[in-house]
Amino acid sequence: MKGHPPERSIHVPLVVQNTPRTALEVVDGLAAAGVATVHEAQGRTGLLRSGIRPIFRPARVAGNALTCEVAPGDNWSIHIAVEQARPGDLLVVTPTSPCDDGYVGDLLAGSLRAHGVRGVVIDAGVRDVAALTEMGFPVWSKAISAKGTVKETPGNVQTPIVCAGVYIRPAAAVLEAALKREASEASRRPRLTGGELGLDIYDMRGRLADRGVRYVEFPESP
Amino acid sequence: MKGHPPERSIHVPLVVQNTPRTALEVVDGLAAAGVATVHEAQGRTGLLRSGIRPIFRPARVAGNALTCEVAPGDNWSIHIAVEQARPGDLLVVTPTSPCDDGYVGDLLAGSLRAHGVRGVVIDAGVRDVAALTEMGFPVWSKAISAKGTVKETPGNVQTPIVCAGVYIRPAAAVLEAALKREASEASRRPRLTGGELGLDIYDMRGRLADRGVRYVEFPESP
Amino acid sequence: MKGHPPERSIHVPLVVQNTPRTALEVVDGLAAAGVATVHEAQGRTGLLRSGIRPIFRPARVAGNALTCEVAPGDNWSIHIAVEQARPGDLLVVTPTSPCDDGYVGDLLAGSLRAHGVRGVVIDAGVRDVAALTEMGFPVWSKAISAKGTVKETPGNVQTPIVCAGVYIRPAAAVLEAALKREASEASRRPRLTGGELGLDIYDMRGRLADRGVRYVEFPESP
Amino acid sequence: MKGHPPERSIHVPLVVQNTPRTALEVVDGLAAAGVATVHEAQGRTGLLRSGIRPIFRPARVAGNALTCEVAPGDNWSIHIAVEQARPGDLLVVTPTSPCDDGYVGDLLAGSLRAHGVRGVVIDAGVRDVAALTEMGFPVWSKAISAKGTVKETPGNVQTPIVCAGVYIRPAAAVLEAALKREASEASRRPRLTGGELGLDIYDMRGRLADRGVRYVEFPESP
Amino acid sequence: MKGHPPERSIHVPLVVQNTPRTALEVVDGLAAAGVATVHEAQGRTGLLRSGIRPIFRPARVAGNALTCEVAPGDNWSIHIAVEQARPGDLLVVTPTSPCDDGYVGDLLAGSLRAHGVRGVVIDAGVRDVAALTEMGFPVWSKAISAKGTVKETPGNVQTPIVCAGVYIRPAAAVLEAALKREASEASRRPRLTGGELGLDIYDMRGRLADRGVRYVEFPESP
Amino acid sequence: MKGHPPERSIHVPLVVQNTPRTALEVVDGLAAAGVATVHEAQGRTGLLRSGIRPIFRPARVAGNALTCEVAPGDNWSIHIAVEQARPGDLLVVTPTSPCDDGYVGDLLAGSLRAHGVRGVVIDAGVRDVAALTEMGFPVWSKAISAKGTVKETPGNVQTPIVCAGVYIRPAAAVLEAALKREASEASRRPRLTGGELGLDIYDMRGRLADRGVRYVEFPESP
């Protein structure tokens, strides 16, 4: 098929419209519970790779995932995603190949915020971090880079994606478990800061003996 | 709940039994088509991160994914997976946290082969690579490490996982597209090795002009 | 040649004196324009690899490049460079092999500032960052390390170098293009924060159709 | 030996009790001297790999090393270490395989502080950094990760370890050398900030000639 | 300028035609001398970053650099470069942002060879390495990846580039120095394999004393 | 102290002579046992970081450690170490700062072999790997780089060092444990390759129940 590289004919980008959202009171409840708690509550899953860092600290956000695949060095589909945004969304961006370019800058962040997007999680780079920090617009990214992007290759919007090692899909039912766990953590805090040992609180002494741990006096050589 | 750290009560490992497999003639057809072709045929998706390397080359395999999550430094669930294996399976292992330890050695490889498993893809480490190479047992891994693992924390077996950036699930329909694409590649090969330019075969000259590419003679300074 | 390892006789370090500088009003104009803008204005070139990070934020500086090659773990040529410095210079340091050692500390920073140097860009490590932050002396580096350096192997000073993937040479003509681009960005800002879509502002809808992007309603499965 | 994987029978974890500490006045003297100075004073040894970063800056601490080996993804032995802590200790943690999980969070930090521990150095991950920052509890780590850990595999406590490339053992005698060096640095500071060249202060001109460094005038081409 | 993202209007790709080449007898002489020797002979410069690895070993090639900048995930300009190739050229490719995609596969390699290109050096990924190895077509790359590329964004061809940390430009005069150094290495080989010490051959004993190296007998504690 | 940078006066390199060696029959017994076995036998310690790779495979060696610290980019102390070598030694080299330069090439390897050294382990780079492979001289390194080194800064020889995360010191008593473990592995091999499950051989079924692992039938959704 002369004139059309065969690559192009096969992968037609897809934009899924009107995906249902989780109610914002549920989403906000998760934000209040905190990431470590939510992670434990949903069976220790859903945590992004640790290389994804906030551009400023402290930062905490929860939202309905508005997903977006971008070609390396190309942010066209983020512009497509803006049109699909709903208030309370959190833009989640993954490149089809690893790329550190700065996909989102202050202009695009302003546009996202104007459409109700609360923040961005991107397994790639972001730019203009001084301006984004001033705006108080939270972004978690793999890199910071002033390198801009082109708009030549659109990608899927609002399809399931893998971002930073996690398969991203909507979620609501974990809130109850998260709250239960948070209460349990709170009850242990005064005991630990009062000097009580975790070995006792978690009753680990019997299991230490099971493991054959040997206590010796200095200077017995190891 | 004294005596039981709360982490344990929440994430109960799951072993899904008797997952249906794709017929091996389909799987073998994909193997013959080659990874680049299959990747293009399924819409440029499904390719593992490039850091996953074979322990010997050349190596080519296709199989039904037998999935397995392992705790860092712990290969217990691989032993669980062996029992779930069917001939033609390909063991796909992902750690719940990044880990380079050697999860699979020659003993475990012998056990896997005895149960019909064709090879291993693991986003972690492997050991005894000299022995595995001699056995002709193909493994793609992120690392090679003689560091062995314990058997204390089991994980999920045969549930959907993310391995090396890809969400792993069974797949069959891409074979026809793969074969079509392969035929198209084959037809271009003699033209390219005969010296015909890709610029002409793919009819890219008009698009070059569209992009404003400027041809100059040396020594016009760039 | 007994007594002299042959390596030494071949690479004689070079110190180029009195290199002409760009007028500081031009340099300062570039600083005001910002790095993303300057990068675009000079044809998307000249941007350092994204791993080069500032030791404090926000930090913005522009200067005439005072270049310097250092041996791994050896900062002798930085001392040579101090003598070549002119007010408004920006010290740009590259190691001849990758090295994370702390080449510049607060003493050397004080010396650089005393000679008019505005800051340091180094594709290696820096130390004493608490003191440098207090001084307000901006440094962009690849690493932070308390590991000091020796003074045994001098390197070239004020010769062209590659630092963080960029060939470093003086530049002035990009200012006009940078200002033009900045004005264009400014004019789009209120439209984007007002909620107008980038798809419309950049007139990308026709090109979306050209690319065959398909809009579907949820829950059409992708 | 049915029922007992052979790995377990061999490596019995060891907890060494009542290890003597260095007097806190010596330890505090080292803290005052600063890390670069202490490093030089003890013969340029003992510096951790530069990838170990503080969770907040500025942060400075010195203490008697309370050492601890942890299995990947498992913080049991940190709980064991808490019981061995003495006021003025600095917890130093190394995983038996590289791991970025969050071994220490705000609860465990509260427990450590209640037992007199001044901070943590860990060649792995830490979590709850916002809370730790608020507490002013200093931690140097290789990673930040909300990923929690299990308590299945105990490790050695208070044995010599390698952490971030350094063999960790108690140390006292370097204080005098550290103070001497610090005085020498202080005496050079006003000369350098006054514009005197390091080339002169360190008398490096003769050695420059020895090395054959060639000074040329611009525009002699290099 | 509606309809044209401003990025595009500024960086017009450039193709420099008919760049003069170095005579192939000179180039071949350098190939014979070997990379370490040539590197020393040209003043310890011009060596690519060590992460650039051959896809098969042993492999040795020299050629006139045919340079090429590619956008991330886009190999269009390699097709442009094929048309500019001359027998004896070595294609040197650098991405404008780091990218591990497989820019060159067996089809494109066949096309390059048909135009006289001897091999490829690419600071990015390559695919079909089994086929390239069979062809005996040498490639040095940063990554191996089956991930294909698009043809949307052309880049500069035959302009100076930075590839793997080195500024690439034609070179001829180093041959004589390379041969001289190689002869010197050859003369030392029998002395070293005969057991003579480098300390004596390079006359380093006096310099050892200068450095204050202290020889002690075991078991004097260090 | 004019004329002597203060760094130099403090760290005087040390060369420890006539360190006792372990008998070669013990060393050779360990080589026969294999690295994974020896690692387990000595309590799962002593394994180098997995990034240390052999330049050819298969390669297996054991020897008395001849230790050597090198400055970054400087191989002087390797020449010092050659003089201290005894037949059966294995040269173990660690840089004082991370460095990928090629510290050892074919000339130095010839010299090492002439003095009885069996191979090299280096947490840095090596060069001339094609020649070293032809010689059959085994080297495990972190990098391969043609970048040569200077001879300006000597370091310690035959003192305890940390190489690739391990504290290196002589060792002999682990042989008996290693042999016992190897016999145990050998006895399990036919059972595993015969299809018997590790779950049964290691009697892990009761512990699976303890952990609450749940077996379900497809298609119960996880």
Q: Mean pLDDT, chain D, as a whole number?
A: 83
Q: Give, in order, the Cα–Cα distances in Å from D144 to each of A133, C146, D54, D55, D127.
A: 20, 21, 10, 8, 6
Residues E178-189: pLDDT tens digits?
667 677 777 887
CA distance F123 to D214: 35
CA distance E109 to E113: 6
Could you give the percent of chain A with pLDDT greater than 90? 40
Q: What is the 3-state secondary structure (H, E, C) of B165-187?
A: CEEECCCCCHHHHHHHHHHHHHH
Question: What are the phi and psi torsion angles at D127 (to 5°)?
Answer: -125, 180
| Contact with chain F for residue C150, Cβ under 8 A | yes
Closest by Cα among C8, E211, C5 to F107:
C5
Distance from chain centroid for Cα A5: 35
Q: Mean pLDDT, chain C, as a whole number?
A: 83
CA distance A54 to A140: 4
Q: Position of tokens 């069917």? A: B86
Q: Which has more pLDDT, B144 or B20? A: B144
Residues A36-87: pLDDT tens digits?
777 777 777 788 888 899 999 888 888 899 999 999 999 999 999 998 899 9
pLDDT (mean) for E159-173 = 80
User: Among B160-169, D98-107, D211-220, F83-92, where is mean pLDDT lowest?
Assistant: D211-220
Residues F95-123: pLDDT tens digits?
999 999 999 998 899 999 999 999 999 99
Bridge partners for F125 per DSSP: F102, F143
> Do A97 and E148 count as a contact with CB atoms less than 8 A apart?
no
Could you give the percent of chain F with pLDDT greater than 70? 88
Task: Name the band, by pLDDT with cuts 50, 70 and 90, for residue F27.
Answer: confident
DSSP state of E196: -
pLDDT (mean) for A200-219 = 78
**Cα three-residue angle B16-B18-B23, rounded to 5 degrees:** 125
Could you give the percent of chain A with pLDDT greater than 70? 88
Q: Which residues contact E190 (CB under 8 A, 6 or more apart)?
A: none
Q: Classify F211 as helix, strand or coil.
A: coil
Q: What is the 3-state secondary structure (H, E, C) of chain C?
A: CCCCCHHHHHCCCEEEECCCCCCHHHHHHHHHHCHHHHHHHCCCCCCCCCCCEECCCCCCCCCEEEEEEECCCECHHHHHHHHHCCCCEEEEEEECCCCCCEEECHHHHHHHHHCCCCEEEEEEEECCHHHHHHHCCCEEEEEECCCCCECCCCCCECCCEEECCEEECCCCCHHHHHHHHHHHHHHHHHHHHCCCCHHHHCCCHHHHHHCCCEEEECCCCC
Judge whether B93 and B121 are in contact, CB under 8 Å.
Answer: yes
> Do D167 and F160 count as a contact with CB atoms less than 8 A apart?
yes
Judge whether C140 and C120 are in contact, CB under 8 Å.
Answer: yes
**Cα three-residue angle F16-F22-F26, rounded to 5 degrees:** 160
Does pLDDT of C40 surpass 80? no
**E36, E195, E216 ranked by CB distance to F128: nearest:** E36
Does pLDDT of A2 surpass 50? no
CA distance A102 to A130: 13
Structure tokens at B188: 């271009």
Does pLDDT of A8 surpass 90? no
Chain A environment of B96 (Cβ under 8 Å): 44
Q: Which residues contact A205 (CB under 8 A, 6 or more apart)?
A: A199
Q: Which residues contact F55 (CB under 8 A, 6 or more apart)?
A: F126, F129, F132, F133, F138, F139, F140, F141, F144
Interface mutation target, options E55, E61, E203, E208, chain F, most CBs of F under 10 Å:
E208
Minimal CA separation from C144 to chain D, in Å? 6
Interface mutation target, options A12, A79, A132, A141, chain C, most CBs of C under 10 Å:
A79
Q: Which residues contact A221 (CB under 8 A, 6 or more apart)?
A: none
**How much is the ipTM here?**
0.80
User: Among B159-163, E68-72, F180-184, F186-190, where is mean pLDDT lowest?
Assistant: F180-184
Interface mutation target, options F45, F153, F176, chain D, most CBs of D under 10 Å:
F45
Minimal CA separation from A134 to chain B, in Å? 33
Task: Name the band, by pLDDT with cuts 50, 70 and 90, for residue B220.
Answer: low
Task: Name the band, by pLDDT with cuts 50, 70 and 90, for residue C143.
Answer: very high
Q: Give, in order, the Cα–Cα distances in Å from A84 to each of A87, A159, C215.
A: 10, 12, 11
The pLDDT, as a whole number, for residue D10 is 47
> Do E217 and F17 count as a contact with CB atoms less than 8 A apart?
yes
CA distance D155 to D13: 5
| Contact with chain C for residue D50, Cβ under 8 A | yes
Out of B67-71, D19-23, D59-63, give the one with best mean pLDDT: B67-71
| Contact with chain E for residue B152, Cβ under 8 A | no
Q: How many angstroms separate the most distant Cα atoms in chain A?
A: 81
Chain C environment of F124 (Cβ under 8 Å): none
